[in-house]
Structure 1
Amino acid sequence: MHDRSMSRGSTSRGFRSRRSVTALALALTAPLLTVPLTATDATAITAPVALTADDLPTWQTNGIVHALAQADGTVFAGGTFSAIRPAGAAAGDPAEQQAVNFAAFDAATGAPTGCTLSFTVGEGVATVRALDVSPDGQTLYAGGYFGAVNGVGVNSLAAIDIDTCTPNPDFHPAVTATVRALDVTDSTVYLGGDFGTVNGQTRERFAAVDTAGALTAWTANADEPGRAVEVAADGQHVVIGGDFFTVNGANSHALAVTDATTGAVTTAYPSGFFPNNSVVKDITADTSGVYTASEGTGGGVFDGRAAFEPDTFAQRWRDTCLGATQALQLYQGVVYSASHAHDCSTMGSFPDGQRRHLLAQTTADPALLGWVPDTNDGIGEGIGPRVFALAPKDGTDYLWVGGEFTTVDGTPQQALTRFASGPDTGAPTVPQVKVESIEADKVAVHWRSSFDTDDSRLTYRVYKDGGSTPVYEVTGDSLPWSRPQITWTDPAVAAGETHSYRISASDGTNTSARSAAQSVTVASAADAYAAAVRGDGAGLYWRFNETANAYAADSSGADDSGVHWNAPTQAVADGAAGSGSSVGYTGSQSEWTYTDKRHATPSAYSLELWFKTTTTTGGKLIGFANKVQLTSTSYDKHLYLNNAGRLYFGVYTGTVRTINTTQSFNDGAWHHVVATQGSGGLRLYVDGTLRASNALVTTSENRSGFWRVGGDNLDSWPSRPTSRYYTGLIDEVAVYGSALTASQVTSHYATGTAP
Structure 2
Amino acid sequence: MLLVPPMSAGADTTPAPGEPATVTADALPTWQTDGVVLAMEIVNGVAYVGGNFDHVRPPGVPRGGAGEVARTGLAAFDAATGALLPWAPVATGPIFTDDVVQTECDNLGSNQYRCDTVWEIKASPDGSRLYVAGDFGKIGTERRYRIAAFDTATGALDPDFAPSPNSRVRALAVSDTTVFAGGHFTAVNDVTRTRLAAFNRADGALLPWAPTADKRVMAMVLSPSGTRLIVGGDFNRINNIWQHGLSAVNVSNGTKASFLSNDIPYNNSNNRSWVTDLVTDGTRVFASADGVGTFDGRLAVNPETGARIWINNCLGATQSISVMDGVLYSGSHAHRCDMQTYYEGNGFPETRPHRRFLAEPADTAQGVKQRILHWFPNAQPGTTYPFVQGPWTMANDGTHLWAGGDFTQVNDVPQEGLTRFTTHDVSPDVTGPVQTNFQAPTAVANGGGKVTITWGATWDLDNRKVRYEVVRSDGQVACTAEANSVFWTLPNLSCADLGRVPGSVYKYRVRAIDPHNNRISSPSSPDVTVT
Match in the other structure for 2:309: 316
Write out aligned runs for 1:542-553 (5 A): none
Deviation of 1:373 after TM superposition, in Å, equals: 0.7
AA at the equivalent of 1:351: P
- Counterpart among 292, 300, 319 of residue 307 in structure 1: 300
Structure-1 residue corresponding to 2:460: 452
Question: Deviation per CA, 1:25-84, whole angstroms, max 9, x where unpaired?
Answer: 9xxxxxxxxxxxxxxxx9747752331111111111111111111222111111111111
Structure 2 equivalent of residue 731 of structure 1: none
Q: Deviations over 1:678-706 (max 9, x none)?
A: xxxxxxxxxxxxxxxxxxxxxxxxxxxxx
Deviation at 1:463, TM superposition (A): 2.6
Give the Cα–Cα distance (whole angstroms) in 2 for the partners of residues 88 and 274 of structure 1.
42
Match of 1:23 in 2: 7
Q: Do residues 130 (structure 1) and 108 (structure 2) align?
A: no
Distance 2:149 2:167 in 1: 17
Residue type of the alignment partner of 2:254 = G
Pick the aligned partner of 2:480 from 470, 473, 477: 473
Which stretch has the larger CA shift, 184-193 or 455-464?
Answer: 455-464
CA–CA distance in structure 2, aligned partners of residues 316 and 91 of structure 1: 45
- 2:400 is aligned, of 389, 398, 401, to 398
Give CA-to-partner distance per residue, 1:585-634, whole Å, 9 cap, x none.
xxxxxxxxxxxxxxxxxxxxxxxxxxxxxxxxxxxxxxxxxxxxxxxxxx
Q: Distance between the aligned counterparts of 1:316 and 1:87, measured in 2?
A: 40
| Residue aligning to 1:285 | 280
Query: Out of 213, 216, 219, which is 2:204 matched to?
Result: 213
The answer to whether structure 1 residue 386 and structure 2 residue 363 are counterparts is: no
Query: Which whole-Å deviations, capped at 9, do the CAs of 1:364-388 have from their partners, x for residues lacking one?
Result: 1532111111111212221211001
Matches within 5 A, 1:585-664: none
Matched, 1:167 2:172: no
Sort the Cα spacing of 1:257 and 1:473 in 2 relative to 1 into closer, same or farther, 3 A: farther
Q: Which amino acid aligns with 2:238?
A: V
Instruction: Confirm whether residue 506 of structure 1 aligns to residue 513 of structure 2.
Output: yes
SS of residue matched to 1:265: coil
- Report % sequence identity: 35
RMSD over aligned Cα, in angstroms? 2.4
Q: Is the CA contact 2:118–2:134 (under 8 Å) kept in the aligned structure 1?
A: yes
Match of 1:489 in 2: 496
- Aligned partners of 2:263 and 2:176: how far apart in 1? 36
Q: Counterparts of 1:83 and 1:249 in 2: how far apart (Å)?
A: 43
Shift in alpha-carbon separation, 1:412–1:85, aligned structure 2, 3 A? same
**Residue of structure 1 equivalent to 2:252:** 261
* TM-score normalised by L of structure 2: 0.85
What is the SS of the residue equivalent to 2:462?
Answer: coil
Task: Give, as a single letter, the amino acid of the residue that structure 2 aligns with 1:456.
Answer: R
Report the 3-state secondary structure (helix = DSSP H, G, I; strand = E; otherwise coil) of the residue aligned with 1:376.
strand
**Aligned amino acid, residue 341 of structure 1:** A
Superposition deviation, residue 503 in structure 1: 2.1
Question: What SS class does the counterpart of residue 267 from structure 1 fall into?
Answer: coil
Question: Residue 75 of structure 2: SS of its match in structure 1?
Answer: strand
The runs of 5 or more residues in structure 2 that have no matched partner are 96-113, 341-345
Q: Taking structure 1 as reference, are residues 373 and 494 closer, same or farther at Cα in structure 2, changes over 3 Å only?
A: same
Amino acid at match of 1:129: W
1:390 Cα deviation after fit: 0.8
Distance in 2 (CA, whole Å) between partners of 1:514 and 1:331 is 34
Q: Cα distance 1:448–1:311, how it changes in 2: closer, same or farther (>3 A)? A: farther
Identify which of 13, 23, 28 aligns with 1:51: 23
Query: Does structure 1 residue 352 correspond to structure 2 residue 350?
Result: yes
Establish whether residue 110 from structure 1 lines up as the match of residue 82 from structure 2. Answer: yes
2:469 is aligned to: 461
How many Å apart are 1:496 and its aligned residue? 4.9
Structure 1, unaligned stretches of length 5 or more? 1-20, 26-41, 525-755
Letter aligned with residue 265 of structure 1: K
Which amino acid in the other structure matches residue 169 of structure 1?
P
CA contact (8 A) 1:437 1:520 kept: no
Distance in 2 (alpha carbons) for counterparts of 1:336 and 1:176: 34
> How much has 1:240 moved relative to structure 2?
0.6
8 A Cα contact 1:232 1:286, kept in partner: no
Contact 1:253–1:270 (CA<8 Å) still a contact in 2?
no
Aligned to 1:625: none
Among 212, 215, 218, the residue aligned to 1:227:
218
Q: 1:498 to 1:77 in 2, by over 3 A?
A: same
Select the residue among 361, 375, 379 that pairs with 1:375.
379
Q: Give the match's secondary structure for 1:399.
A: strand
Query: What is the alpha-carbon distance in structure 2 between the residues aligned to residue 43 and residue 79 of structure 1?
Result: 31
Query: What is the alpha-carbon distance in structure 2 between the residues aligned to residue 54 and residue 43 of structure 1?
Result: 11
Question: Structure 1's 476 and 153: CA in aligned 2 closer, same or farther, altered over 3 A?
Answer: same
In the superposition, relative to structure 1, how do residues 187 and 335 fare at CA in structure 2: closer, same or farther (>3 Å)? same
- d(CA) in 2 for partners of 1:80, 1:273: 29
Asked whether the equivalents of residues 308 and 315 of structure 1 are also in contact (C-alpha less than 8 Å), the reply is yes
1:296 pairs, out of 291, 295, 304, with: 291
Quick one: which amino acid aligns to residue 372 of structure 1?
F
* Aligned residue pairs, count: 481
Q: Match for 1:147 among 137, 142, 145?
A: 137
Shift of the 24–366 alpha-carbon distance from structure 1 to 2, 3 Å rule, reads: closer
CA distance in 1, matches of 2:135, 2:334: 29
Structure 2 residue identity aligned to 1:425: V
Contact 1:74 1:391 (C-alpha < 8 Å) held by counterparts: no
SS state at 1:186 partner: coil
Q: Is 1:89 aligned with 2:61?
A: yes
Q: What is the distance in 2 between the residues matched to 1:22 and 1:120?
A: 52
The yes-or-no answer on 1:366 pairing with 2:366 is no
Checking the alignment, whether the CA contact within 8 Å between 1:45 and 1:52 is kept in structure 2 is no
Q: Which amino acid aligns with 1:290?
A: V
**2:118·2:133 contact (CA, 8 Å) conserved in 1?**
yes
Deviation, structure 1 residue 523: 7.2
The aligned counterpart of 1:198 is: 188
The separation in 1 between residues aligned to 2:118 and 2:441, in whole angstroms, is 53
Does the 8 A contact of 2:401 with 2:420 survive in 1? Answer: yes
1:267 and 1:483 mapped to 2: Cα distance? 47
Q: TM-score, normalised by structure 1?
A: 0.60
The 1-side partners of 2:200 and 2:465 are apart by 49
- Whether the 8 Å CA contact 1:206–1:222 is kept in 2: the answer is yes
In 2, the alpha carbon distance for the partners of 1:423 and 1:463 equals 27
CA distance in 2, matches of 1:496, 1:311: 75
- Three-state SS of the structure 1 residue aligned to 2:441 is strand
Aligned partner letter, 1:352: E
